[in-house]
Amino acid sequence: MNSRTIQKLRHKFILISTLTYFLVMIFIGTFINLSYSFLTHSQIRKTLDYILENEGEIEYGSPDNMQGEWTGYEAGLLPESGTASGGSSAKEINRERVRSLTHSDAGGSILNEFSPNFRYTGRFFVATFSENGELSELKSTHIDEFAVHEEELLAEAAYRQNSRYGRFGYYCYEKGVISNGETMVVVLSCANQLRANERILRITVLICVAGMLVTLLLVCIFSHRVIKPEIENVKRQKQFITNASHELKTPLAVIRANTEIEEMMNGESEWTQSTMRQIDRLDGLVQNLVMISRAAEREDRSIMTEIDVSKNVEESVNPYRSLAQQDKKELIIEIAQGIRMVADESKIRQLTTLLVDNAFKYCDDEGKIRVSLDSLRKGKTVRLVVGNTFSKGANIDYSRFFERFYREDESHNVDKGGYGIGLSIAESICQQYGGSISVSWKNGEIAFTCILT
């Protein structure tokens, strides 16, 4: 895993963490808002039921009585300065009456839900309709924010609705049949409650957005600290590969020289030839390790130039024509002309050579190798596809093909040559240009698709 891959994992972690937090906040915010909205509408319905049950006749108490000695007039309380008949104090009687009002057997707190204050804060009007649907009576003594004709229009609109409960903007209504057989419509102003719902929704959204931004900032800071040791470790690994490769060259050169002298003095033998083959193999492995280390480094695009990708790919594939004839294989080249991009010529040639060489190694006998090049997204993206016939590719784990030193048991074996790192190098080159490489198998043909931007 190189530093670029670690950075990609970091970005994915930041994205997933922020998205997870956002979804959790959305869930909590939705639950809070739905719960509050449910309670609000439940209270509104209770209020509408209460007004309809009383057929709109809500008695007013005197504000003077409410503020003077008789503060409990509407609840039927006695002045505490006096003494009730039977020897009980007024305070004890009041306490018992308050208890009975706030814990009624009829279902709930009458005093808390419809206290005397409701008579001054609840704004509503009622309209009565005869059996033939004509407006027979309109009472608007509890509200003064409408003109008479507006109240009539609103009441008639509510009456024509199919549902018993409904809403027009900040006004909720309920209709039902009263004792005289006529239909009464109650229209209640719910602006305070409904606006409170809207305020809570806006606050929830602001908290979610602010929390997401703070979470994103914190995750970015802490994730950078978390991956910093891993990036340093990757750098040390690159340094080790470079140093080890350099140090291995000297003993390999000495062994090669000693073996050549041995052959000059005593002639070639089975043992000296085996030693030379292993020296060549180790030398190739060292070179590939250095190539991997360099391939993982991101190139500076500012010093690269615009190149003709079509020409570079064609020149890289042409030398394989003779090899195809020798191996009795068909080489199909489909290269669109005039494709250009900012890149390093050597990298494009190396990528093409690696994939074509791999295709020849693992192509079926007398099979086909196909190389195609075209552009996507109006020339902004280059697609290179190298495929070959591969009849034994039905049950292979292709996701591991880009692992270094990986060999599939039946096809990727030592007899084919190579070190199992060519595709890993190809992947690094594609990543350098902000692209990707993928492998697919269909109808007996395997194809490697490279996307370069």
| pLDDT computed for residue 419 by the predictor | 52
Residue 75 pLDDT: 43
Strand partners, 184: 128, 176
CA angle 78, 81, 82 (to 5 degrees): 65
Question: What is the rounded CA–CA span in Å between residue 76 and residue 89?
Answer: 15
Which residues are CB-neighbours of 45 under 8 A, at least 6 positions away? 165, 174
Question: Do the strands 124-129 and 135-139 form a parallel or antiparallel pair, or are they unpaired?
Answer: antiparallel
Burial tier of 41 (Cβ tally within 10 Å: 0-12, 13-18, 19+) = middle
Domain boundaries, the chain: 301-452
Distance CA 446, CA 155 (A): 74
* Digit-coded pLDDT (tens) for 177-216: 988 889 999 999 898 889 999 999 999 999 988 988 898 8
| Structure tokens belonging to residue 131 | 């059996």
Closest CA to 191 of 206, 210, 174, 171: 171
At 74 the pLDDT is: 42
Three-state DSSP class for 153? helix
Task: Give me the pLDDT at residue 95, please.
Answer: 56
Token pair recorded at residue 134: 């004509």
Name residue 175's amino acid: K
Chunked mean pLDDT (size 10), the chain, 453 residues: 71 88 91 93 91 76 42 46 52 56 44 49 85 87 76 90 90 91 91 91 91 88 82 77 79 89 88 88 78 62 80 93 92 94 89 92 92 88 94 80 64 50 84 88 92 90
Question: May I ask the CATH class of domain 301-452?
Answer: alpha beta
- How big, in percent rounded to 5, are the helix, strand and coil portions of the chain? 55, 20, 30
Q: State the CB neighbour count (10 A cutoff) for residue 379.
A: 11
Angle between helix axes 309-317 and 345-362 (nearest 10 degrees) is 40
pTM for the full predicted model: 0.49
> Contact at 8 Å (CB) between 6 and 231?
yes
